[in-house]
Each structure stands twice: as C-alpha cells, then as structure tokens.
C-alpha cells in the first residue's frame, strides 16, 4: 500500500484487503460453510483484533516480535471497523456470486 501513500484512504483500502484475506482464510478452513457464517467469523476475528488494540496486548506482542505489527496492529481506530466490514461484505458478495454462478453452470 506504500504506492498509494500513507493517508486515510490507503489505510482504509489496506484494512479492507486485510479483512478480505481473513475472509478467504476462514472460507478455506471451512469449505462447506455458508457465506454468511464465513463472513460473520471473518468480521468477528477482525473486530477482535481491533478491540485487542485497546488493551495494549497487541503492542506488547509487537514489541516482542516486530512482524506481528502487520497482523495485529497497535493503534485502535474506529474507522478500521468500517473498513473491515466493507472488505468482508465485498468479498462475501463476490464469493456468493461465484458460488451461484458455479451452481448454474453445473445444472
């Protein structure tokens, strides 16, 4: 995301892509789950990571192992929750559309 700069737009795009990755990981781990369940789990994980930043636990982990910053972050920002929601929602819509298309082409 460094090509887009360091502003709030690039941050929101990065957060949305992070949420999309979490969605894909959950979908991969639970291949027979419904789209809504995968989306709920993915969003729940993203929210849990963001809320953990309020406790300082993620900052402590990052001090211990620097690369954890990319996974956990260190600073709570309310706008991140909106970006996570958008990222999961868009990914779920694409997933649902792909699943529906696969069903219609095999029938």
pTM score of the predicted model: 0.84
Mean pLDDT for the chain? 89
Q: Is the pLDDT score of 107 beyond 80?
A: no
Our count of domains for the chain comes to: 1
What are 54-103's pLDDT values in tens digits? 998 999 999 999 999 989 998 999 999 999 999 999 999 999 987 666 55
* pLDDT value for 7: 74
Nearest to 51 by CA among 67, 72, 82: 72
Q: How far apart are CA 46 and CA 41, in angstroms?
A: 9
* pLDDT value for 1: 43
Cα distances (Å, whole numbers) of residue 102 to 30, 35, 95, 97, 105: 18, 14, 10, 8, 5
């Amino acid at each position: 995301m460094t090509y887009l700069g360091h502003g709030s737009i690039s941050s929101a795009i990065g957060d949305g892509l992070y949420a999309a990755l979490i969605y894909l990981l959950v979908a991969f781990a639970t291949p027979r789950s419904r789209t809504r369940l995968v989306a709920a789990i993915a969003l729940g994980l993203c929210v849990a990571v963001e809320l953990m930043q309020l406790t300082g636990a993620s900052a402590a982990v990052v001090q211990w192992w620097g690369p954890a910053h990319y996974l956990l972050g260190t600073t709570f920002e309310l706008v991140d929750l909106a970006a996570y929601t958008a990222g999961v929602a868009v990914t779920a819509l694409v997933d649902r559309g792909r699943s529906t298309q696969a069903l219609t082409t095999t029938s």
